[in-house]
Amino acid sequence: MRITFVLLFLIQVSSGFAQEKNTWQWLEPADTFNNKRFKLLTIGGAAAYAATSVGLYSIWYKNYDLGPFHFFNDKFGNNDEWEKVDKAGHVVTAYAESYLAFKGMRWAGVKHKPAVWIGAGVGTILQGTIEVMDGFSAGWGFSKMDVLANTIGVATFTTQELLWKEQRMMIKVSNTRPNYPTTLIPGNKGGPPLNVRQIAHGLYGDNYLEAFVKDYNGMTVWASINPASFLKLSENSRFPRWLNVAVGFGADGVYGAYGNVYTNANDSYSLTNIPREKEYYLSFDVDLRRIRTRSPLLRTIFQGLSFVKIPGPTLEMSSIGKPKFHFFYW
C-alpha cells in the first residue's frame, strides 16, 4: 500500500518538477554521440562491475572452497533445483542488465542498433562472469541451464528492441518474504533443534536486501505485457497506456536445492513434511515508463523502478493446492 501512495505522490508532483526541467535536462538522452557521457558510463560501469563482483563473493561464495573448474548438472526434470525459481532469477537479471546498459548507451547518444548490441553484450558478460565464478566454486559449478536462462533474458530484450524498438513485455520481479513459522525441527544427529524461521534465515539470509535476491519462497518473476502497445489507439483513446497484464512464477515450501533437508556446520534437519510447490500468478501491473510526465527526473525514476512489479489484484494457482485470489499481492 505504501508503494501505491508513493506512486500517486510522484505523479501529483510531476507538474512541479516539469517547471524545473532545465535542472534535470542532463538526464535526457543526447541527440548525438556525447563522448563525456560515454566515458562516464564506461568508467562507472567498470567500477560497478568490480563492486558487484565483490558483493557477490561476500553473499554467495566466501563460505565455499575454490577448486578446479567443473560443470554442474542441474537439468530440468521432476526433481528441479530450487523449483526452477533460480532459473527465473537468471532470466530477469540478464534482461535488466541488458536493458539498463542499452538505456545508458542511448543516454550517451549511441545510435539505436549499436546500443542494442552493446546492451546484449553487457548482459551476457555480466552473467557469464557469475557462471565462471560458479565453475570454480566447490559449492556450485558451471551450469549450462543457467547459461540458457541468461540467454533467454538477453534475447527477450534484444528481440523486442530489434523488432519494435521498444519493450512491450517487461521482465519484472517482486519479493515478499514469508512469515516463517517457529515450529521446531530436531537435528538428525542429536544436535540442538532449530525452528523453520532460523532455517530459512540460514538459507536465504537475515536482512531483506539479501533475502530479496536469495529467498526463493518469496520471489516471484513476472512477464508484464502492455496491451496498449499492440493496439492502434487514437490520441483521444481513454484506454490506459500504462496498464499491463502480468503472469508470474514462484515457489513455496523450498528449504533446499533438491529436497527439504537443511545442513549446517553442526547437524542436518529434515523438513520433508513440508510440501514443495510451484506457484503461477495472473495479475494487473503498471508500466511506469508509460506514465506521461514532462519531468526528466521522474522519467528516470520510473525507468529505474520499471523492473519491480507493482502490487495489485492477483489470482494464484498452485501445483498442489486450489486457486487463491489476493486482493493485493506483491
The x, y and z cell numbers of residue 203, run together, are: 538459507
CA–CA separation, 54 and 34 (whole Å): 30
Is the pLDDT assigned to residue 233 strictly greater than 80? yes
> Mean pLDDT, the chain, as a whole number?
88
User: Following DSSP, what letter does each residue of 256-315 receive, concatenated?
Assistant: SSSSSEEE-SS-EEE-TTSPPEEEEEEEEEE-GGGS--S-HHHHHHHHHHTTBPPPEEEE
Domain boundaries in the chain?
A: 1-25+170-231+242-330, 32-167
| Mean pLDDT across 18-23 | 50
Is the pLDDT assigned to residue 114 strictly greater than 90? yes
Q: Are 61 and 254 in contact (CB under 8 A)?
A: no
Tell me the pLDDT tens digit for each residue of 251-301: 999 999 888 999 988 899 999 999 999 999 999 999 999 999 888 899 999
Is the pLDDT assigned to residue 21 strictly greater than 70? no
